[in-house]
Homo-oligomer: A and B are copies of this chain.
């Protein structure tokens, strides 16, 4: 176990009807004027946005709004949000949506008090030290952004997708999580969210750090819960209890608890980000393609932890590590397939991916060497993309 610092101060308000508490929670953190950030029309059509606005009104909180945030969110919406906040003297941002909306809200929160361009934080030119407070009303369990200090934004002009990671600054002050809001999610989006949350755990689980039994066991536990609950939400989207289990799993997957005391990997996320930046695929679906390929690459070179994963998460009985690892990867692929996710580029709808271009961009954006479980160079990431064909 390595030394660590960990603080997850987000207040979670979880359960039916909880969006009605938005105003009360916003008032508790001192909000006077709020920017509501949301995505497409579903938050409008479902009446959720109305309920959030009414709750703010009931707490005498003024608000303006910014809709239309797209999946794989881009810098344009962030800049627009920063302008609105400045001209309207907004003091608090509330994201009503999933990861893209929350990440946009976080980027806006960071940009408002900063005199330069908000992208400086993502490009590494500036260090995030302050931000407006962010609250969340979560509608898509996937990205885990409701409990994380992270934000992923794409610079549209360059098609660069960068994940900014902060320890505390970007953690939401509160996250309202009503599983009922997720029962209308399309099946593909539900499944992609499941892959995303599993990937968040696995990026931390596949570590070179030894003696992290407690963090391993917690991680395996969350994975097992997801694998058990996923078929229930897929077969019966109205199953509140299964939706609730999946929703809370997505938060625990990415609030950092699965990373305590160890190095993390994050190569698969970096490798996938190039797919979604170039082909605009759903992030979780891209991960369902890349993660098994990454694991297959590792099964030959460093099978130990992949074998442990296979045995503890999928109850693989095989005693040889490499064989157990490969069996575990088959189980994972079968699981992804069973919830309707692609596990190859072809299934993802990309017949001839431009691997050399993705590899080139990957290492320009993320450096010559990526990953923590084993360091990966261009030849390695090329092989991983190929293993996903």
Cα A327 to Cα B14 with chains together (Å)? 36
Partner of A4, one of B5, B15, B211, B214: B15
Main secondary structure of the interface of A (DSSP, over half): helix
Contacting residues, chain B, for A13 (C-beta < 8 A): 5
A11 — nearest CB in chain B belongs to which residue? B7
A9 at the interface (CB under 8 A from B): yes
Cα A11 to Cα B213 with chains together (Å)? 21
Measured between C-beta atoms, what is the minimum distance from A226 to chain B in Å?
Answer: 8
Cα A143 to Cα B226 with chains together (Å)? 30
CB-based contact B9/A5 at 8 Å: no
CB-based contact A228/B213 at 8 Å: yes
CB-based contact B14/A249 at 8 Å: no
A8 at the interface (CB under 8 A from B): yes
Contacting residues, chain B, for A225 (C-beta < 8 A): 213-214, 216-218
Cα A205 to Cα B12 with chains together (Å)? 20
B-facing residues in A201-259 (Cβ within 8 Å) = 210-222, 224-226, 228-229, 241-242, 244-245, 248-249, 252, 257
CB-based contact B14/A245 at 8 Å: no
Partner of A1, one of B210, B214, B224, B248: B248
- Whether A222 touches B214, Cβ cut-off 8 Å, given contacts A7-B10, A14-B260, is yes
Contacting residues, chain B, for A248 (C-beta < 8 A): 1, 214-215, 260-261
A4 — nearest CB in chain B belongs to which residue? B14
CB-based contact B6/A18 at 8 Å: no
Q: Which of the listed residues A4, A13, A214 has the most CB atoms from chain B within 10 Å of its own CB?
A: A214
Cα A208 to Cα B225 with chains together (Å)? 19
A80 at the interface (CB under 8 A from B): no
CB-based contact A9/B7 at 8 Å: yes
A9 — nearest CB in chain B belongs to which residue? B9
A158 at the interface (CB under 8 A from B): no
Cα A3 to Cα B17 with chains together (Å)? 10
Measured between C-beta atoms, what is the minimum distance from A358 to chain B in Å?
Answer: 35
CB-based contact A217/B224 at 8 Å: yes
A300 at the interface (CB under 8 A from B): no
CB-based contact A218/B213 at 8 Å: no
Contacting residues, chain B, for A317 (C-beta < 8 A): none
A211 — nearest CB in chain B belongs to which residue? B241
- Name 26 interchain pairs, CB-CB below 8 A, sorted by A: A3-B15, A3-B18, A4-B14, A4-B15, A5-B12, A6-B12, A7-B9, A8-B9, A211-B242, A211-B244, A211-B245, A212-B245, A214-B245, A214-B248, A214-B249, A217-B224, A217-B228, A218-B221, A218-B222, A218-B225, A218-B252, A220-B221, A221-B222, A244-B261, A248-B261, A257-B257
